[in-house]
Every structure is written in structure tokens, then in C-alpha cells.
């Protein structure tokens, strides 16, 4: 029946919370399903145009079965479009949420494995990664090329926007809860290599070590799962 | 939530004033009371006491130190910076702070941090987009920058004592908290702007509510999203289905608008008169009462600041 595939697409996306929960991996882009929905919609479109051409104005006002037929096809086509966009929109929401969750770091978000990151440039092996990093790790595989473009575009957009504020504050750092302490005790979960802090200090983060550091300086590394608050 | 409540009752930054105003060498008395309010503060970080607790004997002081970011403290900081060169200026610095501060309290004027907290609450509470508080944000940014400079100078000053270093740390924490407020405010707005981006670009009446950067963000975001939709799906659909601003048969438009029928919980700060509810019933919004009503009905009181969104 018309719209079955679209229904399948929306219900599966509606039932699963995967795409809206940043901690979990984003489900794979349902390309085959989307292509078949587009195909179905195109066929509907063709059938509508040809039917309308064949019969012409006169019969449109008289032939009730034809009118009914066209209406159903028309509604199905629109519904398909709506389902497609709803699916995409849900994913866009999820993608944006992941972007914010990662502290606005595109390279980290798209990195194929959890090993390399934009902040450090360290190429150490990423062992013992937690579920979040695994999830974001294969984000690139689960996105469609268009979605990657969108993410890039969004990233640029936000970079532009936050540059106005950057001399005073970093807009993309966490707003989960208000900061109560200036310093934070952290444990290194993954080797992050040598990092130069705001104060000009150089620190070599090795797995298992513990530090007491300025929160704002290492916020990003905490978000990205290199450090863990103790 | 509790954080903002703290804001209301408990002035965030009592430690800041003694920090600059009181040098141990110059005024013994000030230093003592300064450090005792300091201890209060320390305890209060664990469990914030209600404000009146130290308004008993330290009324003036806690008022004077109500915030680093209000008008009065600007002069306080100037006084403080001169402290670095000349300790004798202390009392002048403090005096001017007291003066300004008390006037402000009389006028029931709020300091910037309080205003910011309230703006954030409002922005989070209402379904619509509120006006951009450009002046407030600029003011807070200026003060943050000044404060950062002060902290840097004092930190690198070898004369700064151990105790003062500790106080400086509290000042910095305070700054982080203010930054948190700004960040939350800006991001709450961004979230709404992105949600209604298309509607905003199509409605010129809404443009004055946004800052320039926000407006261009809304426009570019709309473009970006539409390009994404076009490339992902719409391009493969028949041409008559490719538009982004259709209205469906049931009157639902593709352009999503803020739902002004969303209920909001409001607290009336002033007497707001009566409103007529949907069923023709009338309800009085008396001062000090709390109501759960549709946003559409009370938006002007909220915009006037007579009612507060909870």
C-alpha cells in the first residue's frame, strides 16, 4: 500500500531513542528505505500527472472515482514527503546534540576511532574507551554524506557565531550544571599526549595519572572522555 | 533551579569586596569583619544560608559586596586598583561603594548578575523568543574583562598574601559562574532560534528581538537545513513536492511557530489585574500569587517584568 515504507521509516525512528540520545550510537542512515520511498513518491507523481492529462478538465469534475484516486495518490505523496523530512529532522536534532555534547569539536566527532582528537593531535592507541567515544567513533559511518555536509556547515555556522564571544567565554563548554569549583580533580582515562594549558604549563597526560587542574582549562578533555572527574 | 534560587537570596560574591577593599596593613577592623563574612561564605558554599542570616550584623558589608558586577563596584574596583599603589586610599574606596550600593538597594534596582539570572529564567520559561538583552550582556562582558585584568594583576603582584590568593580564587569561581549564566542564556536562545529559524526569517516583526549575529545565524541555519533536506530527499521527489513552506490539508504549516498556548507557571511580582480565561471565566492575578496559565494570556505581564516565569 502507498506509504507503507514511509510508515516503517517513521515508526522505527520514533520508537528508538538512539538518534536523540547522544550517549548511544546514532543508527545508520536508512538509505535503501529512503531511496525506495523517493521512488514510490516519484511513481505516484507520474501516475497523478498522467491520469490528469489523460482525462482532462471535464472528467475531473464528473468522474468521481478518478477524483478519489487522484486525491489518495496526492495525499500519499505528501505524506511520504512529510515522513522523509520528519526522519531527517530527528536525525538533524540528534546530530546537533552530539555536536554540542562533544564541546563543538568536529574533528573529534568525526574521527574514525577514538584515538585521534583535534585538541591534542596525539596518535596514541585508544584503548579502554568508554561507550560514548565508541558511539561517536563510528558516527561518520552512520551519517549520510549529506548529513556530514550539514554537520560541517553547522560547525562553521557555530564557529562564526561563537567567535563574537570567544574573548570572554567559550560558548560550547558544558552547561550541565553550574560550576561550583575552580579546580577539578581528574584522572586520565586515555593517553592524551602533551597538552599546553592556559597558564602556559605543559602537562603530559598518561593513563592512570591524577591531576588537580583549572576546570575551564581541561573542560574540553573531560567532555571528550580523556579525563574523568574524581 | 536551586542555583538560581541561590542567586536570588544569597548574594553570590560577598568575598569579593573585602578582597580588594581591605588590606591587612591599613584597617584592622575591616579585615576582621571581612574575614568573618568570608567564613560565612565558605560555609555557605556547602549549604547556602538565607540572606537575612548575615544581614543582621553585617548588613552593610554584605550589601556592599552584593556583587562584583554592579555599577557601584566599578568605583570599588577603581578604589581597589589604587590600593595597589597606595594603601591609604582604602577607606575612600570602600566609602564610595557603600554610598552607591545603598542608593541602588533603595531603588530596588537589580545588579547585572541578578538581571542575567532573571533573563535566563524567563528565556527558559517562555515558549516564545524574548528580546535580546544586548546591553546587559555587553555590560557583563565588560565587567568580566575588567575583573579578569584585576585578578591577573593581583595574582602576579608579589605583595598579595596567601589569604588574598585564596580570595582571588573565589573571585575566579564567581566569574566562572557568571560565565555559566551567560552561556546558558545564549544557548537557550540559540536552541529556540534554530527551532523556529524559518519562521523567524519569514517574520520581519520578530527581527528586532534578535541580535544581529542571531539573526544572521537564523538565516544561515535555515539555508543550511533546507539545503540538507533538498540534497537528502527533496531533490528526488516530484517538483511540486519540493517546497519547504507548504501547508498541509489539515492547516499544519511546514514552518514551525512558537506555540503560544503553552502553559507557563508564573509568579506575580505586581498586581496584574484580571485576565479572561478561555471559558469566559475571569481570574485575578494578585501580587504574590502563582498561576499556571497559557502563555498567550499573560505574555505582556511577563514582558513588563511584572510577572515572573518559574
DSSP state of A196: E
pLDDT score for B105: 37
Rounded to a whole number, what is the distance in Å from the CA of A103 to chain B's nearest CA?
13
Residues B246 and B269 grouped into a single domain: no
Instruction: Let me know if residue B197 belongs to a domain.
Output: yes
Where helices occur in B12-53 by DSSP H, the ranges are 16-21, 28-46
pLDDT tens profile A6-38: 888 888 877 777 666 766 777 788 888 888 888
CATH number at residue B197: 1.20.58.1030
Which of B257, B274, B295 is at the close of a domain? B257
The residues, ordered by sequence, that sit 6+ positions from A24 with a Cβ below 8 Å of its Cβ are A17, A18, A131, A135
CATH number, position B284: 3.40.5.60
Which residue does chain A place closest to B173, by CA atoms? A182
Evaluate whether residue B196 is within a structural domain.
yes
User: Which residue carries 584597617 as its cell?
Assistant: B27
Phi, psi of A188 (to 5 degrees): -85, 125
- Decide if B244 is inside a domain: yes
- Chain B residues whose C-beta is within 8 A of a chain A C-beta are 3, 45, 141, 144-145, 169, 172-173, 176-177, 179-180, 182-184, 186-187, 190, 194, 213-214, 217, 220-221, 224-225, 227-229, 231-234, 236-238, 240-241, 246, 248-249, 254
Strands B290-294, A193-196: parallel, antiparallel or unpaired by DSSP? unpaired
Q: Which residue of B has its CA nearest to A78?
A: B241
Q: Are residues B190 and B269 in the same domain?
A: no
Residue A51 near residue A69 (C-beta atoms within 8 A) = yes
Q: With an 8 Å Cβ cutoff, is A143 touching chain B?
A: no
Give the angle subtended at the CA of A210 by the CAs of A206 and A212, to the nearest 5°. 125
B1 part of a folded domain:
no
Instruction: Give the burial class of B142: count Cβ atoms within 10 A of its Cβ; 0-12 exposed, 13-18 middle, 19 or more buried.
Output: middle
Would you say residue A159 has pLDDT above 70?
yes
With H, G, I as helix, E, B as strand and everything else as coil, classify residue A195. strand
Residue ending a domain, among B257, B284, B300, is: B257
* Residue A39: all three cell numbers together: 521512488
Answer yes or no: do B289 and B223 share one domain: no
Residue A134, pLDDT score? 42
Predicted pLDDT of residue A28:
80
CB A37 within 8 A of CB A9: yes
Check pLDDT > 50 for residue A133.
no
Least Cα separation, residue B171 to chain A (angstroms): 10
Mean pLDDT of the residues in chain A: 74
Among residues B55, B50, B45, the alpha carbon closest in space to that of B174 is found at B45
Considering only CB atoms, A182 lies closest to which of B173, B232, B234, namely: B173
For residues B119 and B150, state if they share a domain. yes
Q: What integer pLDDT is reported at residue A69 of this predicted model?
A: 83
The ipTM is 0.74
Residue A205 to residue A208: CA distance in whole angstroms: 9
For B54, other C-beta atoms within 10 Å of its C-beta total 20
A202-221 exposure pattern, b = at least 16 Cβ within 10 A, e = fewer: ebebeeeeebebbbbbbbbb
Q: Are B112 and B178 spatial neighbours (Cβ–Cβ below 8 Å)?
A: no
Count of CB atoms situated within 10 Å of the CB of B57: 11
B133 and B179 share one domain: yes
Structural domains of chain B, count: 2
At residue B70, the pLDDT reads: 41
Angle (deg, nearest 10), helices B112-125 and B134-156? 130
Range of the domain at B269: 259-309
Q: Does B182 reside within a domain?
A: yes
Same domain for B186 and B218, yes or no, is: yes
Structural domain contains residue B42: no
Q: Please report the number of interchain residue pairs, chain A to chain B, with beta-carbon separation below 8 angstroms.
A: 116
Spatial distance between the Cα atoms of B36 and B25, rounded to a whole number of angstroms = 17
In a shared domain, residues B286 and B230:
no
| H/E segment holding residue B266 | strand B263-268
Query: Do B269 and B202 reside in the same domain of the chain?
Result: no
Q: Considering the domain boundaries, does residue B82 fall inside one?
A: no
Q: Give the predicted TM-score (pTM) of the model.
A: 0.69
Sheet holding B263-268: strands in order across? B290-294, B263-268, B307-309
| From B172, B228, B231, residue closest to A92, measured CB to CB | B228
Phi-psi region of A18 (alpha: psi -120 to 50; beta: other; left: phi over 0): alpha
Per-residue pLDDT, A199: 67
Provide the grid cell at B28: 584592622
- Give the model's pLDDT for residue B137: 85
Residue A138 has pLDDT above 80, yes or no: no
Nearest Cα of chain A lies from the Cα of B211 at a distance, in angstroms, of: 11
| B249 inside domain | yes
Sequence-separated (6 or more) residues with CB below 8 Å from residue A61: none
Contact A144 B227 (CB under 8 A): no
Do B120 and B147 lie in one domain? The reply is yes
For residues B128 and B235, state if they share a domain: yes
Instruction: Give CA–CA dist A186/A85, Å, rounded.
Output: 43
Q: How confident is the model over A68-74, as a mean pLDDT?
A: 85
Question: At A216, is the secondary structure helix, strand, or coil?
Answer: helix
In B86-161, where does DSSP find H-type helix? Answer: 90-106, 112-125, 134-156
Q: Do B241 and A77 touch (CB under 8 A)?
A: yes
- Looking at residue A58, its pLDDT comes to 66
pLDDT tens-digit profile, chain B (310 residues)? 333 333 333 333 343 333 333 333 333 333 334 444 444 443 443 333 333 333 333 333 333 333 444 433 333 333 333 333 333 333 333 333 333 333 333 334 678 888 888 888 888 888 888 888 888 888 888 888 888 888 888 878 777 778 888 888 888 888 888 888 888 888 888 888 888 888 888 888 888 888 888 888 888 999 998 888 888 888 778 777 777 777 766 667 778 888 888 888 888 888 877 788 877 788 888 888 888 888 888 888 887 778 888 7
pLDDT, residue A198, reads 67
- Residue A153 touches chain B, beta carbons under 8 Å: yes
Residues B191 and B277 in one domain: no
Residues B123, B252: one domain? yes
Nearest residue to B35 via CA among B12, B59, B17, B11? B17
What CA–CA distances, in Å, run from A105 to A92, A192, B116?
17, 15, 28
Amino acid at each position: 500500500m502507498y506509504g507503507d515504507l514511509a510508515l516503517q521509516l517513521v515508526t522505527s525512528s520514533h520508537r528508538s531513542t538512539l538518534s536523540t540520545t547522544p550517549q548511544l550510537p546514532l543508527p545508520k542512515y536508512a538509505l535503501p528505505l529512503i531511496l525506495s520511498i523517493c521512488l514510490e513518491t516519484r511513481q505516484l507523481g507520474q501516475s497523478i500527472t498522467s491520469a490528469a492529462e489523460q482525462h482532462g478538465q471535464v472528467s475531473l469534475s464528473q468522474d468521481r472515482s478518478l477524483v478519489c484516486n487522484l486525491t489518495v495518490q496526492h495525499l500519499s505523496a505528501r505524506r511520504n514527503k512529510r515522513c522523509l523530512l520528519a526522519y531527517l529532522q530527528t536525525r538533524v536534532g540528534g546530530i546537533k546534540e552530539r555536536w554540542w555534547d562533544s564541546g563543538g569539536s568536529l574533528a573529534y566527532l568525526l574521527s574514525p576511532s577514538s584515538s585521534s582528537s583535534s585538541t591534542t593531535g596525539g596518535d596514541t592507541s585508544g584503548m579502554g574507551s568508554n561507550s560514548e567515544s565508541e558511539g561517536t567513533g563510528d558516527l561518520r559511518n552512520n551519517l549520510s554524506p549529506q548529513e556530514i555536509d550539514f554537520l560541517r556547515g553547522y560547525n562553521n555556522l557555530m564557529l562564526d557565531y561563537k567567535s563574537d564571544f570567544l574573548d570572554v567565554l567559550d560558548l560550547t563548554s558544558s552547561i550541565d550544571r553550574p560550576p561550583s569549583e575552580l579546580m577539578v580533580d581528574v584522572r586520565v582515562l586515555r593517553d592524551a599526549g602533551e597538552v599546553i594549558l592556559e597558564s602556559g604549563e605543559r602537562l603530559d597526560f598518561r593513563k592512570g595519572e591524577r591531576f588537580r587542574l583549572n576546570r575551564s582549562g581541561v573542560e574540553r578533555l573531560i567532555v571528550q572522555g580523556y579525563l574523568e572527574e574524581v | 533551579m536551586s542555583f538560581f534560587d541561590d542567586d536570588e537570596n544569597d548574594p553570590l560574591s560577598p568575598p569579593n569586596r573585602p578582597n580588594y577593599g581591605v588590606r591587612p596593613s591599613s584597617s584592622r577592623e575591616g579585615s576582621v569583619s571581612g574575614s568573618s563574612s568570608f567564613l560565612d561564605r565558605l560555609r555557605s558554599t556547602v549549604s547556602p544560608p538565607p540572606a537575612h542570616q548575615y544581614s543582621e550584623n553585617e548588613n552593610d558589608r554584605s550589601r556592599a559586596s552584593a556583587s562584583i558586577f554592579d555599577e557601584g563596584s566599578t568605583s570599588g574596583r577603581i578604589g581597589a586598583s589604587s590600593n595597589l599603589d597606595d594603601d591609604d586610599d582604602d577607606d575612600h574606596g570602600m566609602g564610595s561603594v557603600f554610598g552607591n550600593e545603598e542608593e541602588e538597594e533603595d531603588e530596588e534596582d537589580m545588579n547585572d548578575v541578578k538581571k542575567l539570572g532573571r533573563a535566563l529564567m524567563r528565556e527558559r520559561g517562555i515558549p516564545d523568543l524574548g528580546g535580546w538583552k544586548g546591553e546587559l550582556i555587553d555590560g557583563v562582558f565588560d565587567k568580566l574583562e575588567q575583573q579578569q585584568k584585576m585578578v591577573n594583576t593581583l595574582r602576579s603582584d608579589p605583595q598579595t598574601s596567601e589569604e588574598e590568593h585564596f580570595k582571588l580564587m573565589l573571585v575566579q569561581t564567581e566569574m566562572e559562574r557568571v560565565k555559566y549564566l551567560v552561556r546558558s542564556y545564549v544557548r537557550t536562545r540559540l536552541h529556540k532560534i534554530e527551532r523556529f529559524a524559518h519562521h523567524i526569517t519569514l517574520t520581519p516583526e520578530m527581527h528586532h528581538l534578535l541580535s544581529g549575529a542571531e539573526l544572521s545565524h537564523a538565516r544561515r541555519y535555515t539555508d543550511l537545513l533546507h539545503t540538507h533536506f533538498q540534497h537528502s530527499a527533496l531533490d528526488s521527489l516530484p517538483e511540486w513536492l519540493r517546497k519547504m513552506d507548504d501547508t498541509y490539508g489539515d492547516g499544519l504549516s511546514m514552518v514551525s511557530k512558537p506555540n503560544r498556548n503553552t502553559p507557563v507557571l508564573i509568579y506575580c511580582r505586581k498586581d496584574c489585574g484580571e485576565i479572561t480565561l478561555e471559558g469566559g471565566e475571569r481570574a485575578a492575578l494578585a501580587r504574590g500569587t502563582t498561576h499556571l496559565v497559557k502563555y498567550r494570556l499573560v505574555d505582556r505581564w511577563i514582558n513588563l517584568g511584572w510577572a515572573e516565569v518559574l
